[in-house]
Amino acid sequence: MLKRKNFLYKPTKRRRKGNYKTFSKKKKFISETQESKPHQISENEDTEEGFNLKTSAPSHSHGVQPLGNLFFSPSFNNSRNTGLGNLQTLSDELVLEILGFLDGTHLGILSTVSKSLYVFCNHEPLWRNLVLEKSIDGFLYNGSWKNTYINAYKPSSDVLSVESMGLKVRDFYSDYLFQSWLCANLEMKPEWLERDNIPRRKGLSVDEFVENFEEPNKPVLLEGCLDNWDAFEKWDRDYLVEACGDVKFAVGPVEMKLEDYFRYSDQAREERPLYLFDPKFAEKVPALGSEYQVPEYFSEDLFGVLGNERPDYRWIIIGPAGSGSSFHIDPNSTSAWNAVIKGSKKWVLFPPDVVPPGVHPSPDGAEVACPVSIIEWFMNFYNATKTWKKKPIECVCKAGEVIFVPNGWWHLVINLEDSIAITQNFVSRRNLLNVLDFLKRPNANTLVSGTRDRVNLYDKFKNVIEATFPGTIDGLVLKTEEKKAQQKKPSFWELVTDSRAGAFKFSF
Ligand SMILES: O=C(O)CCC(=O)C(=O)O
């Protein structure tokens, strides 16, 4: 099965920040008199905190309110607890984890037991998991994951059709479920898009790029690189659907026709929309591979010496607004470029020595815990960066622009509109030694990605490089050592200050 791009830090563990003070104000979120309005933020309303809901149809909240609102409720009754009985002591995450073991029929039946179980059993991610588990060959999205499941698998229970009407429950308070709903329905705040501190260059020479950006390992946004791409002129949804026909592409854990993917992405309102991210697109539809060219800055790609045995290196990326990639470092210590063909993407990048707030890599570097969704990271952690000395590099990369992502940099990307992009990861002489060091790590079998032969990749790559470009590795090692020695050598001024300090010492 094809997998989405494997990153150095695989975002496998997810967590939600517990307490959301900003949502505890009664006047914004509760309304006892308006049962049909679960939170007193209405569509497109600007709240005091400046949050805007998406204008298109929001997903179903089933009346869930943030926990803080309970303290303003006259009855002080949380139907979340009364309807769970003895299970009420379990956290929301644990309840959902347990419900995740049920099939569609049993989820449907359980949802009729109490108001609380109705809300939990209709939590869309449960139905999404059921659909994705069963639909390796794709699915036909139908307004919600639950409807999609019912239409595709027609589980044997009448209760399922009743529940798909989407009832609203009174007095149900849960931060976890509320935040899940909110993150699926929030627009990006304008202030999250304001900072634009990346260097932008047009018409840069390759030498200037290497000297000013690749060698010092710094990001840059390059304009005008796509001007001659057929893809830039031709690729839009209609063209791609026509060109790709029944070919299926990797979308999360399943494979889908483009037409079916767009049907999903047009309707989906969820925290983490499925992203089309396919490393074999050019083999599947050769025309796609020939309609773009690697920009001249990135033409050296030493992994090319491995031919078919090279790790995955190029992807077509398609996703709706709100889809994207949460914080990660790119695979195998490679650098990357990412070209936006349609739409636009917000980027936030941190240098290798700064772990982004809210992100917790495991000590061996194989996994990372981060917020459930990208919007959640912006809501809960983005502000923290304002007071940090080392500010992230940020930008909005628009259609026609290419961003250079240097190796080892943490980055997060969110699509601001429906987007189509191409990205490639590469090894040049500037990062060859980093890549070799990475492939040689003792836990290479868990860290190396995009290829089956993880353990032997180091030897294979090193041997072919030595045979193809004799002396290159030794030359680079020598250069690096000289650089280090140069950095260690005290400068003239340091020598002068030292000798003066010494002089003082002696004169005492
Ligand atoms: O979602 C995107 O376009 C960015 C993808 C990305 O971060 C990557 O390819 O490393």
The response to whether residue 319 sits with its C-beta less than 6 Å from ligand 1 reads: no
Give residue-wise pLDDT tens across range 75-116.
889 999 999 999 999 999 999 999 999 999 999 999 999 999
Ligand 1 atom index nearest CA of 411: 7
Task: Quote the CA–CA distance of 76 and 56 in Å, as a whole number.
Answer: 33
Of the candidate ranges 10-24, 190-204, 308-322, 351-365, the one whose mean pLDDT is the lowest? 10-24
C-beta neighbour count of 199 within 10 angstroms: 15
Residue nearest to atom 9 of ligand 1 (CA): 423
The response to whether residue 338 sits with its C-beta less than 6 Å from ligand 1 reads: yes
Ligand 1 atom index nearest CA of 330: 10
Spell out a b/e string for 454-480, using b for 16 or more CB atoms within 10 Å of the CB, else e. Answer: beebbebbeebbeeeeeeebeeeeeee
Ligand 1: which of 413, 417, 422 to mutate, judged by most atoms within 8 Å of the beta carbon? 413
The response to whether residue 411 sits with its C-beta less than 6 Å from ligand 1 reads: yes
Ligand 1 atom index nearest CA of 325: 1
Task: Quote the CA–CA distance of 142 and 264 in Å, as a whole number.
Answer: 8
The response to whether residue 324 sits with its C-beta less than 6 Å from ligand 1 reads: yes
Give residue-wise pLDDT tens across range 393-429.
999 999 999 999 999 999 999 999 999 999 999 999 9
> What DSSP designation does 83 have?
T
- pLDDT at position 50, please? 61
Ligand 1 atom index nearest CA of 412: 7
- Please report, rounded to a whole number, the percentage of residues in the chain having pLDDT higher than 70: 84
Give residue-wise pLDDT tens across range 4-43.
454 443 343 344 443 222 222 222 222 222 223 233 333 3
The response to whether residue 310 sits with its C-beta less than 6 Å from ligand 1 reads: no
The DSSP annotation for 135-191 comes to -TT----BSBHHHHHHHHH--S-THHHHHTT----TTEE-HHHHHHHHHHHBPPPHH
Task: State in Å: Cα 9 to ligand 1 middle.
Answer: 13
The DSSP annotation for 98-129 comes to HHTTS-HHHHHHHTTT-HHHHHHHT-HHHHHH
The response to whether residue 325 sits with its C-beta less than 6 Å from ligand 1 reads: yes
Task: Quote the CA–CA distance of 276 and 21 in Å, as a whole number.
Answer: 35
C-beta neighbour count of 161 within 10 angstroms: 11
* HEC-encoded secondary structure of 20-68: CHHHCCHHHHCCCCCCCCCCCCCCCCCCCCCCCECCCCCCCCCCEECHH
Give residue-wise pLDDT tens across range 229-282.
999 999 999 999 999 999 999 999 999 999 999 999 999 989 999 999 999 999
Listed by start position, the domains of the chain span 191-466, 471-507
The residue whose two tokens read 């359980």 is 110
- pTM for the model stands at 0.86
Q: What are phi and psi of 507, to 5 degrees?
A: -75, -15
Structure tokens at 147: 């409807």
Contact 378, 394 (CB under 8 A): no
pLDDT exceeds cutoff 90 at 366? no
The residue whose two tokens read 């628009």 is 398
Structure tokens at 320: 């709706």
Give residue-wise pLDDT tens across range 463-478.
999 999 999 999 999 9
CATH of domain 191-466: 2.60.120.650
Task: State in Å: Cα 309 to ligand 1 middle.
Answer: 22
The DSSP annotation for 371-397 comes to ESSHHHHHHHHGGGGGG-SSPPEEEEE
Task: State in Å: Cα 66 to ligand 1 middle.
Answer: 32
The response to whether residue 340 sits with its C-beta less than 6 Å from ligand 1 reads: no
Contact 435, 334 (CB under 8 A): yes
Closest CA to 128 of 272, 344, 225, 343: 272
Task: State in Å: Cα 475 to ligand 1 middle.
Answer: 32
- pLDDT at position 454, please? 74
The response to whether residue 317 sits with its C-beta less than 6 Å from ligand 1 reads: yes
Helices (H) and strands (E) in the chain, counts: 22, 18
Q: Give the pLDDT band (50/70/90) at residue 51.
A: confident
Helix (H) or strand (E) holding 314: strand 314-319
Task: Quote the CA–CA distance of 167 and 111 in Å, as a whole number.
Answer: 11
Helix (H) or strand (E) holding 500: helix 492-507
Residue nearest to atom 5 of ligand 1 (CA): 325
Task: State in Å: Cα 159 to ligand 1 middle.
Answer: 41
